[in-house]
């Protein structure tokens, strides 16, 4: 639909045992996912103090000298963790690079777990800045990461209800998910804005859904079906949730993976903290039975979740497009 604003959903029923309230939430959630693909959640159970403490780490990390950040450049990792400098990402293939820098961590499994080494591109060790330079940074980031994993499990339950599935439907394929968290810094674009080079170009996200924390500086815009860019400003005490490509494929486009972008013209630096949650790396993403019919046949070939995400990383990151770069991901193949 040609929506004009992003809906706000009270998520508190998912923290209660009130089955009727959970079903009512599922109705609102389905409407938001089918008509917009974006929504805010409030009363989500995550303490605002935790969100604020995590945002406090952003200027600490991005204020480090460039050479120190480059020691953990994302190209030195197997799991796409570490630092990405300005203009080294290009979310919109038709643009000229994104005006932001970022730090990422992935779902690092404990030492001794065989999948940590065997499947290092999904579950291997993350890169971290020197602890002497940023005391407390790693603990703060990992604490927030764990909170987002917990919130993500509740969201998967809510999405299952919205799809008329058992509430625990996604649990068996999301116990070891591909899950990336990042902190992002966007400089302000002062003066005329080149539409080919903005904070992050128009794109859809790769995983099942994104949990986005915004601080105070507005920049996020969502494109409706009329091609209009609708603002999604920061609202304290909420997260912005958006459907990603994996969930769109799983639901055969019943749930919308909507294009969005960030343009910071505030005159201030902007920080954001997105958490991208997918399914287990080996999950076969194909149309759910309730989302395919004779009048709505499957629109996508089946694909392994990890292969899909890796192929999108290959298309986005400059270091993965260099002629002598070692391929990290698999190509998307019909199965």
This prediction has a pTM of 0.94
> Which residue has 């625990």 as its token pair?
168
Angle in degrees, CA 95, 91, 246, rounded to 5: 145
pLDDT at 333 over 70: no
Q: How confident is the model at residue 316 (pLDDT cuts 50, 70, 90)?
A: confident
| Owner of token pair 């309230």 | 21
Position with higher pLDDT, 164 vs 2: 164
Q: Kindly indicate the confidence band of residue 322, based on its pLDDT and cuts at 50, 70 and 90.
A: low
Q: What is the mean pLDDT of residues 242-268?
A: 96
Mean pLDDT across 104-111:
96
Q: Is 129 within 8 Å of 105 (Cβ atoms)? A: no
For 169, other C-beta atoms within 10 Å of its C-beta total 17
- Token pair of 63, please? 């204020």
Alpha helices per DSSP H over the chain: 19-35, 48-55, 57-62, 66-70, 114-118, 120-123, 137-162, 245-250, 305-316
Digit-coded pLDDT (tens) for 163-215: 999 999 999 999 999 999 999 999 999 888 888 899 999 999 999 999 999 99
Token pair of 30, please? 């389905």
Sign of CA dihedral 81, 85, 86, 91: negative
Going by C-beta distance under 8 Å and a sequence separation of 6 or more, which residues neighbour residue 307? 329, 330, 331, 332, 333
Q: Which two tokens stand for residue 59?
A: 């200027």
pLDDT at position 314:
84
Q: What DSSP state is assigned to residue 127?
A: P
CB crowding 133-159: b at 16 or more within 10 Å, else e: ebeebeebbeebbebbbebbbebbbbb
Instruction: Please report the pLDDT score of residue 335 as a whole number.
Output: 32
| Domain boundaries, given as residue ranges, for the chain | 8-321
For residue 17, the Cα-to-chain-centroid distance in whole angstroms is 28
Read off the pLDDT of each residue in 277-285 and give the average, rounded to a whole number: 97
Confidence band of 126 (pLDDT split at 50, 70, 90): very high
Q: What is the DSSP letter of 15?
A: G
List, for residues 131-148, the tens digit of each pLDDT value: 999 999 999 999 999 999
Closest CA to 312 of 213, 254, 219, 246: 246
pLDDT band at 1 (very low <50, low <70, confident <90, very high): low
CA 264/CA 327 separation, integer angstroms: 33
Q: Report the half-sphere exposure of 117 (CA within 13 A, side-chain side).
A: 4
Name the pLDDT band for 329 (thresholds 50, 70, 90). very low
pLDDT tens digits along 22-62 = 999 999 999 999 999 999 999 999 999 999 999 999 999 99
Q: Provide CB contacts within 8 A for 46, sequence distance 6+.
A: 147, 151, 239
With the CA atoms of 86, 90, 96 and 101 taken in that order, what torsion angle do they form, in degrees rounded to the nearest 10?
A: -10
Q: Give the span between the Cα atoms of 277 and 252, in whole angstroms.
A: 19
Q: Could you give the CA distance from residue 104 to residue 184 in angstroms, rounded to a whole number?
A: 9
> Residue 224: its pLDDT value, please?
94
Assess whether pLDDT exceeds 60 at residue 279.
yes
Name the CATH superfamily housing domain 8-321: B-lactam Antibiotic, Isopenicillin N Synthase; Chain (2.60.120.330)
């Amino acid at each position: 639909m040609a929506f004009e604003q992003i809906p706000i959903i009270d998520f508190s029923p998912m923290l209660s045992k009130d089955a009727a309230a959970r079903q009512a939430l599922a109705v609102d959630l389905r409407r938001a996912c089918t008509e917009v693909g974006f929504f805010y959640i409030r009363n989500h159970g995550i303490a605002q103090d935790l969100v604020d403490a995590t945002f406090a780490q952003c200027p600490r990390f991005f204020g480090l000298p460039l050479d120190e950040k480059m020691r953990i450049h994302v190209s030195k990792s197997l799991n796409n963790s570490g630092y990405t400098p300005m203009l080294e990402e290009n979310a919109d293939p038709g643009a000229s690079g994104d005006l932001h820098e970022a730090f990422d961590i992935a779902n690092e499994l404990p030492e001794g777990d065989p999948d940590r080494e065997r499947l290092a591109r999904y579950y291997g060790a993350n890169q971290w800045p020197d602890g002497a330079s940023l005391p407390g940074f790693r603990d703060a980031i990992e604490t927030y990461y764990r909170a987002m994993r917990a919130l993500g499990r509740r969201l998967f339950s809510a999405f299952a209800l919205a799809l008329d599935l058992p509430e625990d439907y996604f649990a068996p394929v999301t116990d070891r998910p591909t899950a990336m968290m990042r902190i992002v810094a966007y400089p302000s674009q002062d003066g005329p804005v080149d539409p080919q080079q903005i904070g992050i170009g128009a794109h859809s996200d790769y995983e099942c859904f994104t949990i986005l924390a915004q601080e105070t500086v507005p920049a996020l815009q969502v494109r409706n079906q009329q091609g209009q860019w609708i603002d999604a400003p920061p609202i304290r005490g909420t997260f912005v949730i958006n459907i990603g490509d994996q969930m769109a494929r799983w639901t055969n486009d019943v749930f919308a993976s909507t294009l969005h972008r960030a343009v910071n013209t505030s005159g201030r630096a902007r920080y954001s903290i997105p958490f991208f949650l997918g399914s287990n790396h080996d999950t076969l993403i194909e149309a759910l039975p309730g989302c395919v019919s004779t009048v709505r046949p499957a629109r996508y070939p089946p694909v392994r979740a990890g292969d899909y995400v890796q192929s999108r990383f290959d298309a986005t990151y400059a270091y993965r497009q260099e002629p002598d770069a070692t391929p990290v991901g698999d190509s998307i193949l019909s199965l």
